[in-house]
Amino acid sequence: MRYMLLQNYAGGAGCTVPIAEWAPEEVQAHIDYQRDINRELIERGELVDAQALTGPSLAKFVIHNGIGAPAITDGPFPETKELLAGYRIVDVESPERAVEIAARVSAAPARGGVPIEQPIEVREMMEAPR
């Protein structure tokens, strides 16, 4: 079963300050924690892919009706409070294992080593009909 774990930065809980404002050693501890999880998942044969994403100021929305040029707009809008910081795709035996991994990711260290407590959205990936 494949799941996408969407790592959202929503502020609050264990992290009220954007990572760009953390001390360098706090950023490094957070990244090291994420890499350690990835290394473990690779060893278990569960990690398919994991990526951090650029900030929303670099995002584009593309809408197209199939005729002419697509409409491309900047996004998201300034009133957006959440942003997708990254994702992992895991191939695991059960939904419970996907939740277990998400819980560990949510506990990554933030400023001062406090767990970040960011929401991790767990979504099973659909397979195309045969």
pLDDT class of 2 with cuts at 50, 70, 90? very high
Look up the pTM and report it.
Answer: 0.84
Half-sphere exposure of 5 (CA within 13 A, CB side): 31
Average pLDDT over residues 6-13: 75
CA angle 91, 110, 23 (to 5 degrees): 125
Annotated domain spans of the chain: 2-124
List, for residues 41-62, the tens digit of each pLDDT value: 999 999 999 998 887 778 888 9
pLDDT greater than 60 at residue 91 = yes
Does an H or E element contain 31, and which? helix 24-43
Q: Is the dihedral of CA 25, 38, 15, 85 positive or negative?
A: positive
The residue ranking higher by pLDDT, 44 or 78, is 44
Q: Please, what is the average pLDDT of the chain?
A: 88
CATH superfamily of 2-124: Dimeric alpha+beta barrel (3.30.70.1060)
